[in-house]
Structure 1
């Protein structure tokens, strides 16, 4: 069969694995992508005027038409769902073709998504096995009713097949199909890999907690060291990458596995890497291993320094002492670290932001503070909490479930109160250049309440200050961001010229 994946955003490992199993089964696969430059899904710049200029919706639709597919496949988040539906609707007007949707949003609210006329099939939860079986059923024109994890429509009825267990062994999957995104990603600069699936924790705001519920806490699994190193050896030979990003929710959950991996990684791969971590899973032994093997940065999800809020609202048991210990260890081993800090939490106070800033400004090897908005996803614990407290109305819940919430992680807040939005924006701005400040300077700012005016600071100045933060911390990632935009714009121009011809 001829399958085309349609995607809004950057590289997607889930799509790469689906493409890999499809190719392994002998199917033809292609990709139609809109990188979403300067839009809400762009994690660096949100500039609506430029978003309209660089919008690639027409090019995506044209590519789908030219590929003449047997199946159009979408993997969607809540934030990309409406974009995907609009593409599916347009394609259905132009040609007779089946569509299949999967991904987080589909798994969270399948009963709503299946009502959409432009969608023929849904794959719930983990998708590789169901996807391959669906391709086989479509190709042989047989009834797909025995395919687990599948919802579909026939003769006006909605058919829901029983759920299936997740894969027992992730090693059975082929290597992700990096070739699919080759024209969109410069793998030489940065290689993205997952060594596990799921997360052992249940943060109230994270979609992984829903998967833990769906699979009764059996969703978190880790690949073997052999499997991980085999992928890295093959891809290093192919792309000669300069660094690796381990994109697992938490990289160091198993010390024995980590030791074996890093001992072999250092000798067989030997390039710098970064990862995600959790402060209460971090230790001197982990830090020593990471530093020795070439880890130059860890991203810690802190979200708030209000310990009570973190525990009761976010369902994160880490203490502030856990955070202090992890930061001190990183400072001793000279490992840089990013801190994820979330704004818009239920019951947050301005004092929480002030206290966090006073903690963060003392940190020696803090690279940057990544500021995020709390985004409500359907059927998660924090969304239910916000509804009970009157923060979200029934109408809000409906908009969230339909993928129509006008908010995102990086640019638009879910907070309704305009004054609180301004306060949060002021502290977000402060946090973005806080690594440049000293404790004396931050105390002066707070004493004179200068932080309250920072929401007025022009975006260009904020970007310049972030550039200074990157230079101070020798942040290779910031250089890659700038390089990515240059490369994407250049590619957009080439595509437009080809389209016009």
Structure 2
């Protein structure tokens, strides 16, 4: 049987590798997660585990680290097959040209990684495996067709959480467990790749929304509970409340058989009184939804969100009336955004009394409609590409609005501005200054406090996580 190591530099149990690890473990392959900054530490771990395959789950921005790590592994251990999957290689398959990578996987990877493991274990050729892309001996990029998406998620084994928790007690002892109950999203916001994913899978009939059955979800959660306690559940589906029939059935089972407090992601235009009641009765502590921006034109004409201020205010009122705390997702430095538009976003969060106002800086990923609009407006630098995206959306934004620096500064104090309106005069002066350590300190402190509150982590644990993931912030 093959040995597969999933490598990353971020201290977090990634859902993709856990799902693939479950598929591989069920087929008797050996898997482990390796969290490493790279360099000698990574090589020492790889030398000890002796993998046949080194795999990377890669997002845009993190792809540079993965390429460097793969090159180092390939230089030291040329027999190891290196593969990258995830969002970045799915939409930019030319990432297969990165030195050190043997291939990349596009789209859902369960079938591809299983066939690759079998081929490597038996010494067979793997170049015809569906979903893979690679560079042949002539230097040509070969992109194999996609297989259809997994039609029945219930048929998949449970995610292999043990690949993280056996190796990293710090992650095992986290009281919060992230849970994904489905795949796909029916919406087409301009900042997201969902529309591109549908086009990519068009030859296979599209990329449909699929959910685990309510019973299978409960079985998955309780299966994890056998070995690893769950004090708090974090449902990270894009829109947890999308299917009302599924939701009500699942929440009724969850309240009886799990009964742990939880958070989830909702959408303001879908929130109704009966949904809010069902969430509250099942133990929902936090509900997060996208405000994105307080400016209606930016939200609906630039981001294609198709959600009004009224719907946002109504959703917040429904949740607040049931003592469900409100978290919001916001972005600054959108194409054409001004500093005043940024303050509009602050004011809308104050109006709905958001208790956890999360904020990032807009990233126009190449191939999205946001990128197309920013390019048409002349707001992107010459030669802009995926390599122009920073490692973290908390650092900076490549969109060159006239107020970019002030908007990036406002991002650092966004949570404080929402929670402490009496500081607006002082913060308005601060965001017009050059960036400095004070702004960074405000951001890290407020982010840490908010994270601790929402996900039931101690401040010590948040501080340690921040230290381990310092390069991301």
What TM-score comes out, normalization by structure 2 length? Answer: 0.89
Quote the Cα distance in structure 2 between the aligned partners of 1:151 and 1:468: 39
Quote the Cα distance in structure 1 between the aligned partners of 2:443 and 2:460: 11
1:65 and 2:43 correspond: no
Offset, 1:159: 3.4
Partner of 1:392: 380
CA deviation vs aligned residue, 1:59-78 (integer Å, no higher than 9, x gap) = 12221122222111111111
Partner of 1:28: 30
Task: Determine if contact 2:409/2:435 at 8 Å carries over to the other structure.
Answer: yes
CA deviation vs aligned residue, 1:70-125 (integer Å, no higher than 9, x gap) = 11111111111110111111111112221111111101111x21222311122110
1:12 and 2:42 correspond: no
Instruction: Please show how residues 59-208 of structure 1 align to structure 2 within 5 Å.
Output: 59-96=41-78, 97-110=80-93, 112-156=94-138, 157-182=140-165, 183=168, 184-208=170-194
1:436 to 403, 419, 422: 419
Task: Determine if contact 1:344/1:414 at 8 Å carries over to the other structure.
Answer: no
1:378 to 366, 375, 391: 366
Instruction: Please show how residues 401-440 of structure 1 align to structure 2 within 5 Å.
Output: 403-406=387-390, 408-416=392-400, 420-438=403-421
Partner of 1:338: 327
Offset, 1:374: 0.8
SS at match of 2:384: helix
SS at match of 1:395: coil
Q: Unmatched 5+ residue regions in structure 1? A: 35-54, 493-501
Instruction: Please show how residues 322-361 of structure 1 align to structure 2 within 5 Å.
Output: 322-361=311-350
SS at match of 1:241: coil
RMSD value over aligned CA atoms?
2.8
1:411–1:299 Cα change, 3 Å: same
Quote the Cα distance in structure 2 between the aligned partners of 1:405 and 1:428: 17
Partner of 1:210: 196
1:390–1:132 Cα change, 3 Å: same
Instruction: Please show how residues 485-500 of structure 1 align to structure 2 within 5 Å.
Output: 485-486=463-464
2:304 to 309, 312, 315: 315
Offset, 1:285: 1.1
1:251 and 2:240 correspond: yes
1:427–1:396 Cα change, 3 Å: same
Q: Unmatched 5+ residue regions in structure 2? A: none
Task: Determine if contact 2:292/2:299 at 8 Å carries over to the other structure.
Answer: yes
Task: Determine if contact 2:276/2:318 at 8 Å carries over to the other structure.
Answer: yes
1:226 and 2:208 correspond: no
Offset, 1:146: 4.4
1:116–1:360 Cα change, 3 Å: closer
Task: Determine if contact 1:432/1:462 at 8 Å carries over to the other structure.
Answer: no
Give the paired residue count. 460
Quote the Cα distance in structure 2 between the aligned partners of 1:385 and 1:454: 28
What TM-score comes out, normalization by structure 1 length? Answer: 0.84
